[in-house]
Amino acid sequence: MRIENRMQLQLWREECKEKRQKENCCILVCGGTGCLAGGSDKIYARLKELTSNMDHVTVKIGEEIAHVGLKMSGCHGFCEMGPLVRIEPYNYLYLKVKLEDCEEIFEKTILHGEPVTRLMYEDNGHVYQTQEEIPFYAKQTRLVLRNCGHIDAEHIEDAMAVGAYESFEKAVFEMTPEAVIKTVTDAGLRGRGGAGFPAGRKWSQVASQPEKIRYVVCNGDEGDPGAFMDRSVMEGDPHRMIEGMMLAAYAVQAQEGYIYVRAEYPLAVRRLQIAIAQAEEKGLLGDNILGTGFSFKLHINRGAGAFVCGEGSALTASIEGKRGMPRVKPPRTVEQGLWEKPTVLNNVETYANIPMIIKNGADWYSRIGTPQSPGTKAFALTGNVKNTGLIEVPMGISLREIIFDIGGGIKDDKGFKQFRSVVHPVDVW
């Protein structure tokens, strides 16, 4: 059913929440690229076989008969230990799961709620039974990545149940475009693509242009070696990023948007395509969204693997079908971007921050991180670290905390070598 107004949206959201709440036993198999490479799709298929007749099995959690839900989620983050399987409501996280482990997980945990301790994280003889207790997760502040690993990445109903499109609803029914820009500006959000330019200032510059045809573009090129932050958001929580783009479009009154994704990210592309199609079917994308008169359409462009297309003007040239070459500024993208029209260009992580800023307010967001750079930052923790994976931490955290408290230290317990900045020769310690 196409959602035509705010009341229908709210009723549908409540239905999604009720459906999720009934799943008082939920199996979340990591469907991120890393775990899929390790065979998590086969683990999912086997668990599906085992749970397919659950309606005929009496399973009790406390005094209630359990309704078991099996989902293929996005990246859980602890990539070093994949394939990963999380079991709720116990919050058990099973590591390095093999196909032959599925029967034991089914018999012990799904049927009786008992942990399979041999599959849990262990350090110096201590077994961490819940995911939240594991040191890798305990020191993180997962805001952008909150839903990755906790929802079905390919079903909009699961995203709706945890708050998807609430912020867009608030914006179009309760806020002016100017108020949206002011909230993002007051929050102090800086672009997460590397340059750190204030997002609100960029949006304000686009909104002030005399040209009324404007575009919103998402940079999902992510060409840095070893980086997979944006990929994981697109794979694990695509509706969050899409909602961020919709809020940007409403703020600057753009009617079209483009997501530029590396062709080397086929899973991210597929899940974005699914998410866009589902949003269009429900009336959250397209013409006259929710009866407000606001229209917004999204398109996906696949890059050909050129590292230089991560630069803004090269990226927009590539979307236009031209050779991806950076151009001399001015004019800047906010003045003449895609097809020489004013363009908001941010990366995946930047857009993924927007919904929670609109929902919770600028003051809430500005208290996280540092006064100069509020919020959190996602990092791909790779290299000679014991616990590699995808992490999210407050801005201002020290390298020591990231490498030792979250990453578990250097492999083989080697020492961390000091290094000094070329510009400011100050020890990182």
Residue 409 lies in a domain: no
Say yes or no to pLDDT of 345 above 80: yes
Does one domain contain both 261 and 134? no
pTM score above 0.85: yes
Of 366, 384, 417, the last residue of a domain is: 366
Q: Give me the phi and psi of 237, to 5 degrees please.
A: -150, 60
Q: Are residues 178 and 224 in the same domain?
A: yes
Peptide bond into 225 cis (omega under 30): no
Q: Does position 283 have pLDDT exceeding 60, yes or no?
A: yes
Query: Does a structural domain hold residue 134?
Result: yes
pLDDT tens figures, 289-308: 999 999 999 999 998 878 88
Rounded CA-CA distance 65/368 in Å is 41
* CA trace torsion 400, 403, 404, 406 (10° rounding): 120
Give domain status of residue 231, yes or no: yes
| Mean pLDDT (the chain, rounded) | 91
Q: For residue 83, give the CATH number of its domain.
A: 3.40.30.10
Residue 304: domain span: 156-366
**255, 322: one domain:** yes
Specify whether 294 is located in the same domain as 175. yes
How far is C-alpha 164 from the geometric centre of its chain's CA atoms? Answer: 12
Last residue of a domain, one of 103, 138, 173: 138
Residues 72 and 134 reside in one and the same domain: yes
Q: Note whether 297 and 216 are same-domain residues.
A: yes
Whole-number Å distance between alpha carbons of 73 and 236: 6
Query: Checking DSSP bridges between strand 376-381 and strand 389-394, what pairing results, if any?
Result: antiparallel
- Rounded Cα gap, residues 417 and 166, in angstroms: 46
C-alpha to C-alpha distance for 167 and 206, rounded to whole angstroms:
21
- Same domain for 92 and 209, yes or no, is no
Decide if 391 is inside a domain.
no
In a domain, 408, yes or no: no
CA dihedral for 250, 246, 349, 186, sign (positive or negative): positive
Instruction: Let me know whether 176 and 291 are in one domain.
Output: yes
Q: Are residues 132 and 184 in the same domain?
A: no
- Count of domains observed in the chain: 2
Under 8 Å CB-to-CB from 11, ≥6 apart: which residues?
none
pLDDT, one tens digit per residue, over 55-96 is 544 444 444 445 788 999 999 999 999 999 999 999 999 999
| Pair (223, 104) in one structural domain | no
Q: What is the amino acid identity at position 129?
A: Q
Alpha helices in 32-165 (DSSP H): 33-37, 40-51, 102-104, 111-112, 135-138, 156-161
Give yes or no for residue 173 having a pLDDT over 80.
Answer: yes
Amino acid, res. 369 = G
Q: Are 311 and 328 in contact (CB under 8 A)?
A: no
Structural domain contains residue 176: yes
Domain at 280, CATH number:
3.40.50.11540
Strands (E) located in 15-165: 25-30, 60-61, 64-65, 68-73, 85-88, 92-94, 121-123, 126-128
Whole-number percent of the chain with pLDDT over 90: 79
Q: Is residue 374 part of a domain?
A: no
- Render the burial of 14-34: b for 16+ CB within 10 Å, e for the rest: eebeeebeebbbbbbbbbbbb
pLDDT at 54: 63
Query: By the 8 A CB rule, do 154 and 271 touch?
Result: yes
Domain shared by 105 and 166, yes or no: no
At 52, is the pLDDT very low, low, confident or very high (cuts 50, 70, 90)?
Answer: confident
Does residue 104 fall inside a structural domain? Answer: yes
Q: Are 182 and 297 in a shared domain? A: yes
Write down which residue in 341, 366, 391 finishes a domain: 366
Query: Which tokens belong to 177?
Result: 């475009």
